[in-house]
Structure 1
Amino acid sequence: MTNSKSETLHFPNISSLTKISLGLILFTMISTVMVYAQTSDNTVTIVNDSYLEENFQHVDNTLFSSSPGSTITVINNDVVSHMLVSGSDNTNSGSTDNYDNFLICDIDDVHQCAFTKDNRIITDIIPPGESLSFQLSELGTYRILDPDYPWIEFVIYSFQNYDSSDNVNSGYSVEENTSEPTVSSEPTPVNSPSVKTLLVTVDGMPFDVNFSTIGLNVYEIESDTDSMSLIFYVDVSDSNGKLEVTFDREFFDSVYDGVDDQFFILSDGDETIFREIQNTPESRTLSIDVQLGTEELEIIGSEFGFSKVISVPVIETPVIETPVIETPVIETPVIEIVPTNECGPGTVLENNVCVLDERCGPGTVLENNVCVLDSSNVNNSPTVSNTSSPSSNKEMIMSFSVAFGIAGVIGIILALIAKAHKKK
């Protein structure tokens, strides 16, 4: 019995080996994911059909961090070519619902521009299926879009000494220091949080920001609509201060395509530790650790909620065409009035009675407004005919007599000439 127990004690524990194997497998998987995350953070893919504004997604990586000198690779999986430029957004929102009047300018003093180029990044044309790389040259915010398709847009925050494997802005708890705490004989005083409210003005509109602090004082809050951020100016009195701030979603939020996105928080230009400790449909609460000597905290989101453009559907009233009724044209017949009483020459009709036309002299009638001789009176007048016939007969007789006399004289002269000729 004793020997059997000793052999049992030295026999390998199968359960322990299984745990070790699972641990190694899990470690391998985590390492692979971290390596993939490191290699894919600086890659942006323009998805298929991104040239269509109504497409569900345009790029796969819309917001990420990097550092100066890093290489950013853009892959074009769309069916058309694209080019990219960097600049600042002047629409007071990280996105817009209407690109019909989206104006891109090259200078800063054009207030109606929706986007102003800063000439830090201007890429060549990226054909379909090809890729292109560029480097970040400085710290700050890079807002990059395609000027021909401005809905294709992404933002890069360039931080100093950025490491994607240790992104403290992930929204999850960062591993705390596991060193042994120093045991002190004196009790450590516990500071109670101080709850305050400060007024911040965004585009001329005042808003209250509620927050609580431990070991620091917030004396001013400033808004930056260009980078969609709120800047807290602080005075830290303890070695490790803490700021908890609650944002009403209708005022300030970080979303993309209707889904919550992470905030970015800078402490004097560098990333700092924070945790999102509460998330409700109405608000989001952040807890930020602030080191001694910090002067400003910049919390970067994606939009100020009050500046969202709410597109109200336009209901077009149907146009009812009123039928045009053409009124028939009734032609009035022209009735020619034919005089029933016609008067003869030299007379006119007055009061339906033919009377003598006294407008011309005796023996004349009016024709075509001219007085002419009345031929009917000359032919029908017997007196004039009888008196003129004897005189005309006398003239005819005298004419014949004279003619015969002249002919006889001529004949005599011709006879005398002929006789004298014969004698010769």
Structure 2
Amino acid sequence: MFSKILIANRGEIALRILRACRELGIKTVAVHSTADEDAMHVRLADEAVCIGPAASRDSYLNVAAILAAATITGAEAIHPGYGFLSENADFAETVEAHGLTFIGPTADHIRMMGDKITAKTTMEALGVPLVPGSDGELKSLEETRAVAEKVGYPVLIKATAGGGGRGMKVAQSASELEEAWSVARTEARTAFGNDAVYLEKYLDKPRHIELQILADNHGNVVHFGERDCSLQRRHQKLLEEAGSPVLSAEQRDAIGRTATDALAKMGYRNAGTLEFLYQDGQFCFIEMNTRLQVEHPVTEMVCDVDLVREQIRIAAGEELGYTQSDISFSGHAIECRINAEDPDTFAPCPGTVAVYHPPGGLGVRVDSALYTGYRVPPYYDSMIAKVIVHAPTRAQAIARMHRALDEFVVEGIKTVIPLHRRILADPEFQKGEYTIHWLEQFTSRPH
């Protein structure tokens, strides 16, 4: 096992990793920008190193500074968390080349799954079902038209290197295709430096279902069930559940076997999440995230497993020590992402937290690095906390989340807590009758 780990991230996920390290008896190194010198993970880590100015490109994306911090402090491994460098294959490769352990998949697998066309081709060859669409990159509008006619409208043009909803445009008919193709490529080139796009059939009422897996270096692969991440605004998740209100245990087992078989054949290692669109009883693979997910706590709650601890154990060369039959699912969990945003306009609201009082009680967990007096900086993602609840049934989990959000006090800045209260009170949500398009429609209603 490692004696010291550098945490190459910030905010609540840096604190989450730090806690797992503490419980394993591992010393921690926090890296931080000048804007985060008073951050909670910096205060609690055994050592802290400033790696640059506030801008991410000069600090949390500064590979040379991070590696220098690891070398100076004698860290043996680097945990990237999520975001920033977590799915950067070159970073993972460089970490290993410097004699350190990257706590995550191999660079080859990150690279393979990071390109959506390669990921889809790979998964299709391994028996994982796909959304109908192009076989690869579409290099011309004429080629795009031909594929669209074949799969049928509406269609979705997507960047091969995309993420976060950027480089994605829907064409409802042939008359809209040229604009969608052009705009998607422009967005992709601006956001990712790569304007390659491909095409998928646009599903009108899908759920976004993802499957959490862990794989060790000894050929063992298990899954920890599904998460329903369908409540999204502009392709950004806001609320997640485990398990999904629409899946049966039999459906979970079936897609779980397909996914674990595929990753075993790949020789995958560490944590990963396979994401699917689910409609009319059919799963269609869309992408794989080769890292820890923001929403991992709901899986931890229903499976009673510390996924970060398992990531560290796997990276240290340990076996999982259990099989699929040892994994059980208990009750229902819900996570609400709390963003420092106006709940109506979604404008970011950085500033100083005048009062902070998190909820508590049975089955309530809060992952956050906030404290009274903390200044939420304007330079990074607006998520400031996650409230996670667990209860025997979904109805009880909804009631518990209602209660938890009523207790949650964050003053001095605006948050999306009022929006979550509205969602939880909506009859359609309470019945589990929503798709990936539901939240956009919900937020456009007057209230």
Give the TM interval when normalised to the shorter protein.
under 0.3
Compare CA radii of gyration and give the structure with the larger one.
1
Higher helix share: 2
- TM-score in terms of structure 1 length: 0.22
Higher strand share: 1
- TM-score in terms of structure 2 length: 0.21
Higher relative CO (Cα under 8 Å, sequence separation at least 6) belongs to 2
